[in-house]
Amino acid sequence: MKYALLDRGDRLSRELSEQFQTLAAARGLTPDDTAPELVLSIGGDGTLLQAFHRFKDRVDDVSFVGVHTGHLGFYADWQKDELPTLVEFIATKQPWKVSYPLIQIDIVTDASTVSHLALNEFSLKSVDGTLVAGININDEPFEMFRGDGIVVSTPSGSTGYNKSLGGAIIHPSLEAIQIAELASINNRVYRTLGSSIVLPKHHHCDITPDPEEQLYLGIDHLVMPMTGVRSIICRVAESKITFARYRPFPFWNRVRSAFIGSEN
């Protein structure tokens, strides 16, 4: 088994990373940063986002496993004192594979169309104040948005930025994307739906800003300043991220323990 390892870079994550490598070597697992079968992230959900972006070109060929140094996360299902068990399972057990949808984001300028994948979400904001952008759904005009920004999330990203915007939490077995508004302006002149919208796999949305506008395009933890954007097309991607599961990690248990607590 060939594995790649990425840690958050803090002292605890680095120590755990060294511990993992020692345990893995004793079990005959081989480090391989070029063509791994398994990608391990040690840190938090943010570290798994970084691991995804490092290996997104091989997303159809790798499985991910996350170790959390704090509370269990949404992507990281192993805790810091469980590394010996995790290595034992990787060396001896056949995991089952769980796949979560991703978003494909096509950014259209006069010069090119560039595609990206996001695990949590795509976000759009204006550098100078209010964002003004048209939203089309399946090539039909839907609304003209004015406000702080627009966030389009995956089901597994629905517990991240989307949740802070009042979006619904979507189970990652559903192939969908969710569009949520960031502080839209709604008065006699400007009007948007005001609720978040969930689109199925065979639908897409186009966001059309003013090409003169300076924008911030966010893809998970990455932010790109851009101008000259004619359109941004978001849809459920054909590829999915795959997690190797060595024991159950039910989504609704994670939601409950993250947002409600086990005492309730």
Helices (H), 37-140: 45-54, 83-92
> How big is the site for ligand NAP, counted in residues (CB under 6 A)?
16
Q: Closest CB to ligand NAP belongs to which residue?
A: 46
Q: How far apart are the first and last CA of the chain?
A: 42
Among 121, 143, 148, 181, binds ligand NAP (CB under 6 A): 121
Please report how the helices 83-92 and 11-26 are oriented relative to each other, as an axis angle in degrees rounded to 10: 40
Whole-angstrom distance, CA of residue 113 vs CA of residue 117? 14
Q: Choose one: 77-85, 108-116, 159-167, 232-240; the region binding ligand NAP (CB under 6 A).
A: 159-167
- Residue 51, token pair as written in the block: 């691991």
Among 3, 20, 52, 74, binds ligand NAP (CB under 6 A): 74
Question: Which of residues 160 and 209 has its CB atom nearest to ligand NAP in the complex?
Answer: 160
147 belongs to the binding site for ligand NAP (CB under 6 A): no
66 contributes a contact to ligand NAP by CB under 6 A? no
What radius of gyration do the chain's Cα atoms show?
20
Our answer to whether residue 45 is catalytic in this structure is yes
Cα-based distances in Å from 116 to 19, 108, 215: 34, 11, 16
Which residue ranges make up the site for ligand NAP (CB under 6 A)?
A: 44-46, 49, 73-74, 120-121, 156-157, 159-161, 164, 220-221
Going by the annotation, the residues of the binding site for NAD(+) are 45-46, 120-121, 146, 148, 159-164, 183
